[in-house]
C-alpha cells in the first residue's frame, strides 16, 4: 500500500513501529499471494497444453520448471486439424456462427426498447419497464422445454369448441441448429441489454432531446442521429458481455443442439473430449485453451468497456 | 494516495496494458493466419462463418427495413394525413392478406376448376406490374435510407424509378421463374390488396362527408372481400350453417359494444368491428370446412367481414391535429418496443407459462396429473432425493458442529458481557463478532454436510459461493485499493470471468486429479498434500526447519496476544487468536502422527492417503463450489472496488482527523456506505449460483452426491424425457429465485422514485 506515514497514536516505541511496518507490508504481499493462487489454474492449463501425452500423464505441469521436459505443439495440431476425430475446428466455426448473430441482433432491438423506456411517454411505461427488467433474475431453465418444442415442431393452438388447430408458428425445423441457439440467446439477453442500455440512455442530458424536438426532429431521427452515436460505449460494453456469454454458453447449446456434431459449439466439443474418459485427457488442455482464446482476447483488449458495462449494470441498481 | 505520486506508476502501467493489448492483437492475428493455413478444410470453415454472416445480414436488413418503414409510415401521420391513411390501409391489408394466405388452416390444396385456372392465369400475367410495384416500394425505403444517411431527400424519386423499372424488366423477362416461384405464390395477393386498399384509404383520407365516407369504406371492403375469396380459391371452403354464423357474429358485436361502453366511447363503429371478427370466427372456426364446397361461399364468407371492417374504418369522422399527433406518438412507443417485447414474450414469458402448464401433466404431456410432479420432487421419489435426512444423526458427532456451536455460544456470551459493561443489550465488536461469524459458518457447513439432497445441496452452493465470493471480492478490493499495482492484480483476479464454466471445470478437474501415492501426482492439490505428508513424516533438514518455524510463529503469536491483552487494546486479538489456535492444532498434528497425503499409522507404518476431491462426499461439493468462487470473486471485486472508490473522500478524511484507525474507518464508514452495492453483488451471485449447471454436468453429472437442481432438471427433461418432472423442477428453480426477484423490483422502484 502506497500510503503516507501516518503515525499510529499511542505507539511510539521502536518495537511497535517495527511490528507496524511488518503488518503494513502484509496487504501487498497478501494481494500478490492471492493473485498467484488465482492464476495457477490457468497457468497450469497453459503449460500442460504444450506437453506431450506421456508427459501430461506421468508428472505434474510444474515439473517443467525443474526437469528437461520437451515442449510440443502436437496437442494443438490434433485439436485444430479438421480431419482428426478430435478436432474442435468445426465447432469453432459453429461458435462464431452462434455468437455473432446473438451479439449483433439484441443490441439493435434492445437499443430501440431502451430509448422508448427512457424518452417516449406512454401509459404503463414504468410498469412495463420494471416487468421487463425483473425477468433478469428468471432462470432460463424455465423456458427450455417449450422452446425446444417450438423449434422442433412449431407452435400450434387448439381452439376450444371448434375442434381446429391453428398454426401460430410453422415448424421451421430449427432443433439441432445454431439458429435455434442464437434466437434463444437473443431473447434471453434482452432483459439485461435493455436494463444496461436504459441506465445509460436515460442518463443522457435532457436539453439535447428538448432542443432536437424543438427543431422538429421526431423520435426516429433523435434515436438515429443523437442517441445511437452517444451510446457507443455502452453498446460496446453490452456487445462484449453478450459475446462472452454466448461463446461460453453450455446449457442452451446442449439443449438445442445436443448430439448434432455439425452444429456443436466449442463448449460442447471440449465437454465431449472431457467425457471420453482418459483417452483424450491430453488434448483437453489445448482444447480448453483454444476455446478460451477468443474470449480472453476480447477480454484483454476491451477490458475497459467490459468493466464499465458491469458497473453501469449493477452499481446504480 | 496523493495524485502526484500516483500519476507516474499509473501511466507506466497503462503503457504496459497498452503493450499487452498490442501483443494480444498480434497474437490473435498470427494464430488466425496459422489456423487458416493449417487446415485443409479451411474453405468449409469460412463458408460456414460467411454463410451465417450473409443470412444474418439479410435478416437484419429485412427487419431494419420493416422497422424504418414503420417509422416513416407514422411520420406521415403528422406530416400528410391523407398519405398516411393510404399507406396505413395498404400495409394493414397487405399484412392481412399475407397472413390469410399463409395460414395452414385455410391453405389446403382444393380442386382446380375453370375459375381457379382463370385466377391463376391472371396472377401470372400481371406479375411484371406487381413486381414493379413491390420493388418500387423497396426503392422508397432505399431512397429514404440513403437520404437519411446523406441528410437530403433528393434521392427518393430516382431510387423508386430505378427499382420499379428493374421489377418490370425482371417480371417480363423472367416471367416463368417469377410467376412459378415465391413471389407470385406469396407476395402477389398482398401487393394487389395493398394497392387497392391504399387507393381507398387515399380517397377516405380526403373526404369528410360521413355518407360518402361510409359508402367508400363499404365499397373498398366489398372489393377486398371478393379478392380475398378468390385468393383462397384452393383452400378449404366453409359450409354455412346459420347458427354457426349468427351466434359468433352477434356475440362479437355485443362484446365489443360492452367494451366500448365501459371505456366511454361511442358504441357504433366498435360493434361493426366486433361483428366482423365474430363472423370470421363463425365462418372458418365453427362451421364445417370442405375442400369441395362452392367458391361462392368462400367469397361470401370473406366479403361480409371485409365490408364490416371497411364501414368501421370509415365510420368515425376525420381525425383532428391533436388526434394525429397522438396516433403518431402512441405508434412510436410500440414500434420502438415491439421487437424487444415480441422476442421476450416468445422466448421467455410464454415458454415460462407453458412450463407451468406442462408441469401439471405426465411425462409425455398427455395426462393431467395435478401437482403429482411436485409431490414426487418434494416426496423424494426421483433418482436423487431432494431432502435426505438419513445422515442427520451424524450431526452432533461432526467436528464442524462440535467447533461451531461452542464458538457461537462464546461469541454470544462475550457480546452480552461487553454490552452490559457499555449499557447495551448486545455489543457487536471484533471479539464477539468473529467467533459468531466463524461459528455460524462451521455450524452451517456441518448442517449442509449431514442433511443432504438436491435442494439442500443447492442451498449449500448458494450459501458458500455467495458468502465466499463476496467476502473475498471485498477483501481483494480493499487490499488492491490504492495499491501501486492495482490494475494488473485486479485483471488477474478478474480473468476467470472470461473463461467458460466448461473450461473452468476442465482446468480444475486437472487440479483435483488424484493418483496412487506411489506415483507422481499430476494434480496440484494432491501433489501439495502428499508433499506435506512426506515433509511431516520425514526426518530430514526441511522437516526440522518447518517444525522450528511453526513453533517460533506460535510463540510470536502468543507473545503478541499477551501484550495486547495486557495493554487492553483488543483490536485484532480475535482473528489472531483464531489463527493461533488453528496453527497450534496443525503443529500438533505435524509433529505427531503427521498430516497430509502420507501419514504415520498407529503401528508406525506409513499410510498413503490422496484425497479424491471429486468423489469423496459430501465435501466434494465444496471443491466444486470453489470453481464457481474462483469465477465469481472477480465480479464481486470489480463492483465493490468501484463502490469503495465512490465513497466520498471527505468522510474518510474527517474520520482520520478525528483519530480513527484504518480498521475503524473501514468498518464504520466505508462498509456502511457500500451496503447497497453489496446487496446488488449478493443478489446477482445468488441468481448465478442457484442455476449452476455446467460445472456439475462436466465434472460429475450429479454423481457422488453432487446433484443440483439445474442438472437434475436437465437430466429429467432431456435424458429421461420426463417433461412433467423436468418442468416442475424448472418451476421449483424459478420459485427459489423469486425472493431475489422481488428484492430487485423493490430496489428498482426505490431508484425510480
Q: Which among A28, A117, A297 has CB closest to B483? A: A28
Residue pairs between chains A and B whose CB atoms are closer than 8 Å: 396
Judgement on whether residues B205 and B243 belong to the same structural domain of the protein: yes
Residue A108 has pLDDT above 90, yes or no: no
Last residue of a domain, one of B298, B320, B345: B345
Q: Look-up: residue for cell 462464431?
A: A96
Q: Residue A15: which pLDDT band, with cuts at 50, 70 and 90?
A: low
Q: Is residue B34 pLDDT above 80, yes or no?
A: no
| pLDDT averaged over every residue in chain B | 82
pLDDT digits (tens, 9 = 90+) for B325-363: 888 888 888 889 988 999 999 999 999 999 999 999 888
Q: Which one, of A253, A235, A237, lies nearest residue A291 by Cα?
A: A253
- Interface list for B 301-360 with A (CB within 8 A): 328-330, 332-333, 335-337, 339-341, 343-344, 346-352, 354-355, 358
Given a cut of 50, is residue A81 above it in pLDDT? yes
Residue pointed to by grid coordinates 464458538 = B407
Q: In three state form, how does the secondary structure of chain A look? A: CCCCCCCCCCCCCHHHHHHHHHHHHHHHHHHHHHHHHHHHHHHHHHHHHCCCHHHHHHCCHHHHHCCCCCCCCHHHHHHHCCCCCCCCHHHHHHHHHHHHHHHHHHHHHHHHHHHHHHHCCCCCHHHHHHHHHHHHHCCCHHHHHHHHHHHHHCEEEEECCCCEEEEEECCCCCCCCHHHHHHHHHHHHHHHHHHHHHHHHCCCCHHHHHHHHHCCCCHHHHHHHHHHHHCHHHHHHHHHHHHHHHHHCCHHHHHHCCCCHHHCCHHHHHHHHHHCCCCCHHHHHHHHHHHHHHHHHHHHHCHHHHHHHHHHHHCCC
Q: Are residues B51 and B85 in the same domain?
A: no
> Cβ separation of A116 and B330 shorter than 8 Å?
no
Name the pLDDT band for A10 (thresholds 50, 70, 90): very low
Distance of residue B38 Cα from the nearest chain A Cα, in angstroms:
7
Nearest to A2 among B281, B484, B642 (CB): B484
- A86 Cα to chain B: minimum distance (Å): 14
Q: Report pLDDT for A11.
A: 41
The mean pLDDT of B726-745, rounded to a whole number, is: 90
Give me the mean pLDDT over the B580-603 stretch.
80
The nearest CA of chain B is from the CA of A59 a distance in Å of: 5
| B13 and B107 both lie in a single domain | no
Domain boundary among B345, B378, B407: B345
Please give the C-alpha separations between residue A278 and each of A49, A56, A57, in angstroms, as whole numbers: 16, 12, 10
Whether the pLDDT of residue B174 is over 70: the answer is no
The distance from CA B471 to its chain's CA centroid, rounded to whole angstroms, is: 26
Of A59, A166, A187, the CB nearest to B346: A187
> Of all residues in chain B, what percent carry a pLDDT higher than 90?
14
To the nearest whole angstrom, how far is the Cα of A77 from the nearest Cα of chain B?
8
Residue A92 lies in domain: 76-314
Q: Is residue A5 part of a domain?
A: no
pLDDT tens column, B682-709: 988 998 899 899 999 989 888 888 899 9
Which band of pLDDT confidence, cut at 50, 70 and 90, is reported for residue B204?
confident
Is 80 exceeded by the pLDDT of residue A53?
A: no
CB contact under 8 Å between A116 and B337, yes or no, is: yes
pLDDT at position B76 over 70: yes
Residue B428 vs residue A95, higher pLDDT: A95
Q: What is the mean pLDDT of residues B605-610?
A: 76
**Are residues B91 and B222 located together in one domain of the fold?**
yes
Q: Provide ipTM, 2 decimals.
A: 0.87
Q: Residue B656 pLDDT > 50, yes or no?
A: yes
Q: Is the pLDDT of residue B8 over 50?
A: no
Please report whether residue A294 resides in a domain.
yes
Instruction: Answer yes or no: are the C-beta atoms of B487 and B17 closer than 8 Å.
Output: yes
What local confidence, expressed as pLDDT, does residue B121 receive? 76
Contact flag B745-A134 (C-beta cutoff 8 Å): yes
Identify the band that residue A72 occupies on the pLDDT scale cut at 50, 70 and 90: confident
Which of these, A261, A283, A104, lies nearest to A182 by C-alpha position?
Answer: A104
Query: Chain B interface, mutation test: which of A20, A41, A102, most B Cβ atoms within 10 Å?
Result: A41
Distance CA B487, CA B14 (A): 9
Q: Could you identify the residue written with the cell 521436459? A: A69
Chosen from A186, A225, A226, A300 to mutate, greatest number of chain B CBs within 10 A = A300
- Cβ-based contacts of B714 with chain A (< 8 Å): 141, 251, 254-255
Residue B607 has pLDDT above 80, yes or no: no
Q: Are residues B122 and B252 in the same domain?
A: yes
Residue B543: CB atoms within 10 A of its CB come to 17
How far does A209 lie from chain B, in Å, by closest CA?
15
CATH number at residue A290: 1.10.3720.10
Q: Do A178 and B346 touch (CB under 8 A)?
A: no
B186 assigned to some structural domain: yes
Question: For chain B, how many structural domains are there in total?
Answer: 2
pLDDT-derived band at B680 (thresholds 50, 70, 90) equals confident
Same domain (yes/no): B146, B271? yes
Pick from A167, A271, A314: which is nearest to B639 by CB? Answer: A314
| pLDDT higher than 50, residue A316 | no
What is the SS3 assignment for B213?
helix
Please say if the pLDDT value at position A14 is more than 60.
Answer: no
How far is residue A148's CA from residue B713's CA, in Å, rounded to a whole number?
A: 14
Chain A: give the shortest CA distance to residue B159, in Å.
21
Structural domains of chain A, count:
1
B345, B367, B395 - which closes a domain: B345
Res A116: pLDDT = 92
Radius of gyration of chain B (CA): 37
Which of B365 and B186 is assigned the larger pLDDT? B365
Establish if B499 belongs to a structural domain: no
**Beta-carbon separation of A48 and B330 below 8 A:** no
Most B CBs within 10 Å, among A26, A78, A95, A141, to test the B interface: A141
Taken in order B458, B460, B464, B470, is the CA torsion positive or negative?
positive
Q: How far is CA B279 from CA A249, B92, B151, B400, in A?
A: 49, 19, 48, 73
Q: Does the pTM exceed 0.90?
A: no
pLDDT in tens, A240-268: 889 988 999 999 999 998 778 888 899 99
Q: Is B473 on the interface with A (CB under 8 A)?
A: no
Residue A1 has pLDDT above 50, yes or no: no
Residues 648-667 (B) with a CB less than 8 A from some CB of A: 656, 659, 661
pLDDT digits (tens, 9 = 90+) for B83-120: 888 888 999 998 888 887 766 455 555 555 666 677 77
More confident residue, A281 or A130: A130
Residues B88 and B208 in one domain: yes
Chain B hits for A316, CB-CB cut-off 8 Å, are 751
**pLDDT tens, residue by residue, A133-163:** 888 888 989 999 999 989 888 787 776 666 6
Based on the domain organization, do B47 and B100 belong to the same domain? no
A244 neighbourhood in chain B, CB within 8 Å: 497-498
Least confident span in A255-269, B114-128, B539-553: B114-128
Q: Do A186 and B522 touch (CB under 8 A)?
A: no
- Compute the distance between CA of residue B194 and CA of residue B86 in angstroms, rounded to an integer: 9
Mean pLDDT of B564-573: 72
Domain encompassing residue B254: 76-345
Give the C-alpha distances (Å, rounded to integers) separating B263 from B258, B353, B550. Answer: 9, 29, 83
Predicted pLDDT of residue B114 = 67
Would B725 be classed as within a structural domain? Answer: no
In a domain, A282, yes or no: yes
Domain assignment present for residue B485? The answer is no
Q: Which residues of B touch A238 (CB under 8 A)?
A: none
Distance (Å, rounded) from C-alpha A114 to C-alpha B336? 8
Flag if B489 and A190 touch (Cβ within 8 Å).
no
Q: B34, B61, B499: which to substitute to probe chain A, counting the most A Cβ within 10 Å?
A: B499
Residue A233 lies in a domain: yes
Verify whether the Cβ–Cβ distance A135 to B684 is below 8 Å. Answer: no
Residue B716 scores a pLDDT above 80: yes
Same domain, yes or no: B39 and B86 = no
Q: Does B512 touch chain A (CB under 8 A)?
A: no
Given a cut of 70, whether residue B40 has pLDDT beyond it is: no
Q: Which residue of B has its CA nearest to A179?
A: B52
What is the pLDDT at residue B696? Answer: 92
Q: How does residue A2 score in pLDDT terms, banded at 50, 70 and 90?
A: very low
CA-to-CA distance for A161 and A264, rounded, in angstroms?
Answer: 43
pLDDT at B589: 82
Mean pLDDT of all residues in B137-153:
74
Contact: A311, B639; criterion CB under 8 Å: yes
Q: Which residues of A97-108 are buried (b: 16+ CB within 10 A; e: fewer)?
A: bbbbbbbbbbbb
A152-162: b (≥16 Cβ within 10 Å) or e = eebbeeeeeeb
When CB atoms are compared, the residue of A63, A132, A299 closest to B344 is A132
Q: Are residues B142 and B9 located together in one domain of the fold?
A: no
- A212 occurs within a structural domain: yes
- Alpha carbons B724 and B735: distance in angstroms, whole number: 16
* R_g (Cα) of chain A, nearest Å: 26
Inspect the interface and report whether the beta carbons of A42 and B355 lie closer than 8 Å.
no
Q: CA of A104: how far to CAs of A96, A110, A235, A298, B332, in Å?
A: 12, 10, 10, 15, 23
Query: Rounded CA gap, A187 and A131, in Å?
Result: 15
* B10/B106 same-domain check: no
- Return the pLDDT at B182: 63
List, as ranges, residues 661-700 from B with C-beta within 8 Å of A. Answer: 661, 676-677, 679-681, 683-684, 687, 690-691, 693-694, 697-698
Cβ contact A57:B520 at 8 Å: no
Strands (E), B504-563: none
Q: What are phi and psi of A283, to 5 degrees?
A: -90, -15
Residue A31: exposure state from Cβ atoms within 10 A (0-12, 13-18, ≥19): buried
Tell me if residue B748 falls in helix, strand or coil.
Answer: helix
Identify which has the larger pLDDT, B232 or A109. A109
Q: Which residue has the higher pLDDT, B311 or A5?
A: B311
Whether residues B9 and B148 share a domain: the answer is: no
Which range scores top for mean pLDDT: A131-145, A212-226, B146-160, B430-444? A131-145
C-alpha cell at B66: 420493416
Amino acid at each position: 500500500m502506497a500510503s503516507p506515514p501516518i503515525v499510529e497514536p499511542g505507539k511510539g516505541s521502536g518495537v511497535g513501529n517495527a511490528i507496524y511496518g511488518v503488518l503494513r507490508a502484509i496487504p501487498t504481499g497478501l494481494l500478490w499471494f492471492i493473485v498467484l493462487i488465482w492464476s495457477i489454474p490457468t497457468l497450469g492449463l497453459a503449460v500442460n497444453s504444450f506437453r506431450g501425452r506421456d508427459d501430461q500423464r506421468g508428472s505434474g505441469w510444474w515439473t517443467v520448471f525443474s526437469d528437461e521436459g520437451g515442449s510440443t505443439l502436437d496437442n494443438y495440431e490434433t485439436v485444430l486439424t479438421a480431419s482428426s476425430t478430435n478436432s474442435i475446428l468445426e465447432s469453432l466455426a459453429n461458435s462464431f456462427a452462434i455468437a455473432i448473430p446473438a451479439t449483433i441482433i439484441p443490441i439493435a432491438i434492445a437499443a430501440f426498447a431502451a430509448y422508448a423506456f427512457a424518452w417516449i411517454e406512454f401509459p404503463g411505461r414504468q410498469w412495463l419497464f420494471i416487468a421487463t427488467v425483473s425477468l433478469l433474475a428468471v432462470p432460463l431453465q424455465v423456458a427450455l422445454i417449450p422452446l425446444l418444442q417450438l423449434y422442433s415442431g412449431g407452435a400450434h393452438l387448439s381452439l376450444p369448441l371448434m375442434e381446429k388447430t391453428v398454426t401460430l408458428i410453422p415448424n421451421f425445423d430449427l432443433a439441432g441448429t445454431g439458429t435455434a441457439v442464437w434466437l434463444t440467446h437473443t431473447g434471453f439477453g434482452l432483459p439485461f441489454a435493455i436494463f444496461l442500455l436504459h441506465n445509460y440512455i436515460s442518463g443522457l442530458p435532457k436539453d439535447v432531446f428538448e432542443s432536437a424536438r424543438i427543431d422538429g426532429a421526431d423520435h426516429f431521427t433523435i434515436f438515429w442521429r443523437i442517441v445511437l452515436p452517444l451510446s457507443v460505449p455502452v453498446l460496446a460494453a453490452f456487445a462484449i458481455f453478450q459475446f462472452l456469454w454466448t461463446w461460453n454458453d453450455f446449457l442452451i447449446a446442449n439443449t438445442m443442439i445436443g448430439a448434432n456434431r455439425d452444429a456443436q459449439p466449442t463448449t460442447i466439443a471440449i465437454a465431449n473430449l472431457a467425457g471420453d474418459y482418459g483417452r483424450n485427457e491430453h488434448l483437453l488442455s489445448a482444447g480448453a485453451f483454444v476455446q478460451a482464446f477468443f474470449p480472453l482476447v476480447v477480454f484483454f483488449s476491451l477490458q475497459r468497456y467490459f468493466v464499465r458495462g458491469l458497473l453501469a449494470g449493477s452499481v446504480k441498481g | 494516495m496523493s495524485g502526484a505520486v500516483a500519476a507516474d506508476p499509473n501511466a507506466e502501467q497503462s503503457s504496459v496494458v497498452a503493450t499487452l493489448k498490442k501483443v494480444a492483437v498480434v497474437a490473435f492475428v498470427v494464430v488466425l493466419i496459422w489456423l487458416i493455413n493449417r487446415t485443409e478444410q479451411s474453405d468449409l470453415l469460412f463458408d460456414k462463418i460467411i454463410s451465417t454472416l450473409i443470412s444474418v445480414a439479410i435478416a437484419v436488413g429485412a427487419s431494419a427495413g420493416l422497422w424504418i418503414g414503420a417509422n416513416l409510415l407514422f411520420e406521415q401521420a403528422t406530416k400528410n394525413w391523407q398519405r398516411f391513411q393510404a399507406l396505413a390501409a395498404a400495409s394493414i391489408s397487405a399484412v392481412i392478406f399475407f397472413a390469410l394466405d399463409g395460414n395452414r388452416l385455410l391453405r389446403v390444396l382444393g380442386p382446380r376448376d375453370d375459375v381457379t385456372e382463370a385466377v391463376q392465369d391472371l396472377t401470372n400475367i400481371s406479375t411484371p406490374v406487381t413486381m414493379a410495384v413491390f420493388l418500387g416500394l423497396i426503392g422508397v425505403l432505399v431512397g429514404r435510407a440513403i437520404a437519411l444517411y446523406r441528410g437530403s431527400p433528393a434521392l427518393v424519386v430516382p431510387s423508386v424509378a430505378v427499382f420499379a423499372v428493374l421489377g418490370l424488366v425482371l417480371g417480363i423477362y423472367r416471367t416463368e421463374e417469377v410467376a412459378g416461384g415465391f413471389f407470385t405464390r406469396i407476395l402477389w395477393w398482398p401487393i394487389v390488396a395493398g394497392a387497392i386498399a391504399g387507393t381507398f384509404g387515399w380517397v377516405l383520407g380526403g373526404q369528410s362527408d360521413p355518407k360518402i365516407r361510409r359508402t367508400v369504406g363499404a365499397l373498398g371492403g366489398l372489393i377486398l372481400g371478393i379478392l380475398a375469396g378468390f385468393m383462397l380459391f384452393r383452400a378449404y371452403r366453409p359450409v354455412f350453417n346459420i347458427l354457426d354464423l349468427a351466434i359468433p357474429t352477434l356475440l362479437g358485436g355485443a362484446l365489443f359494444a360492452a367494451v366500448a361502453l365501459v371505456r366511454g366511447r361511442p358504441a357504433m363503429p366498435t360493434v361493426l368491428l366486433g361483428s366482423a371478427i365474430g363472423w370470421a370466427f363463425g365462418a372458418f372456426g365453427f362451421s364445417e370446412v370442405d375442400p369441395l364446397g362452392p367458391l361462392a361461399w368462400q367469397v361470401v364468407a370473406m366479403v361480409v367481414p371485409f365490408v364490416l371492417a371497411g364501414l368501421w374504418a370509415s365510420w368515425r369522422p376525420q381525425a383532428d391535429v391533436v388526434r394525429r399527433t397522438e396516433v403518431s406518438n402512441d405508434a412510436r412507443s410500440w414500434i420502438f418496443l415491439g421487437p424487444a417485447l415480441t422476442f421476450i414474450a416468445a422466448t421467455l414469458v410464454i415458454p415460462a407459462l407453458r412450463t407451468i402448464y406442462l408441469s401439471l401433466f405426465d411425462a409425455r404431456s398427455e395426462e393431467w396429473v395435478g401437482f403429482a410432479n411436485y409431490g414426487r420432487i418434494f416426496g423424494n421419489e426421483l433418482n436423487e432425493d431432494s431432502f435426505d435426512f438419513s445422515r442427520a444423526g451424524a450431526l452432533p458427532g461432526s467436528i464442524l458442529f462440535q467447533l461451531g456451536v461452542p464458538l457461537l455460544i462464546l461469541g454470544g456470551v462475550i457480546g452480552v458481557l461487553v454490552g452490559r459493561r457499555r449499557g447495551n443489550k448486545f455489543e457487536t465488536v471484533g471479539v464477539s463478532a468473529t467467533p459468531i461469524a466463524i461459528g455460524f459458518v462451521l455450524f452451517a457447513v456441518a448442517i449442509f454436510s449431514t442433511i443432504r439432497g438436491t435442494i439442500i445441496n443447492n442451498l449449500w452452493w448458494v450459501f458458500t459461493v455467495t458468502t465466499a465470493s463476496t467476502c473475498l471480492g471485498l477483501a481483494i478490493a480493499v487490499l488492491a485499493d490504492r495499491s501501486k499495482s492495482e490494475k494488473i492484480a485486479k485483471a488477474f483476479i478478474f480473468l476467470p470471468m472470461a473463461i467458460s464454466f466448461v473450461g473452468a471445470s476442465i482446468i480444475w478437474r486437472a487440479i483435483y486429479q488424484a493418483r496412487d501415492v506411489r506415483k507422481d501426482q499430476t494434480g496440484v492439490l494432491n501433489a501439495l498434500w502428499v508433499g506435506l505428508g512426506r515433509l511431516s513424516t520425514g526426518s530430514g533438514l526441511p522437516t526440522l526447519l518447518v517444525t522450528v518455524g511453526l513453533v517460533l510463529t506460535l510463540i510470536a503469536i502468543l507473545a503478541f496476544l499477551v501484550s495486547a491483552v495486557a495493554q487492553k487494546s483488543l483490536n485484532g486479538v480475535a482473528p489472531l487468536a483464531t489463527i493461533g489456535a488453528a496453527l497450534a492444532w496443525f503443529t500438533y498434528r505435524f509433529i505427531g502422527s503427521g498430516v497430509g497425503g502420507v501419514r504415520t499409522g498407529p503401528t508406525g507404518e506409513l499410510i498413503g492417503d490422496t484425497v479424491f476431491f471429486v468423489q469423496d462426499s459430501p465435501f466434494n461439493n465444496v471443491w466444486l463450489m470453489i470453481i464457481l468462487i474462483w469465477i465469481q470473486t472477480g465480479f464481486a471485486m470489480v463492483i465493490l472496488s468501484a463502490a469503495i472508490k465512490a465513497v466520498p473522500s471527505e468522510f474518510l478524511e474527517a474520520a482520520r482527523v478525528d483519530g480513527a484507525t484504518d480498521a475503524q474507518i473501514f468498518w464504520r464508514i466505508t462498509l456502511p456506505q457500500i451496503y447497497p452495492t453489496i446487496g446488488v453483488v449478493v443478489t446477482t451471485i445468488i441468481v448465478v449460483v442457484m442455476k449452476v449447471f455446467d460445472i456439475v454436468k462436466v465434472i460429475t453429472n450429479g454423481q457422488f452426491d453432487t446433484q443440483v437442481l439445474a442438472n437434475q432438471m436437465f437430466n429429467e427433461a432431456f435424458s429421461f424425457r420426463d417433461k412433467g418432472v423436468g418442468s416442475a423442477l424448472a418451476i421449483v428453480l424459478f420459485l427459489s429465485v423469486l425472493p431475489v426477484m422481488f428484492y430487485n423490483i423493490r430496489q428498482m422502484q426505490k431508484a425510480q422514485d
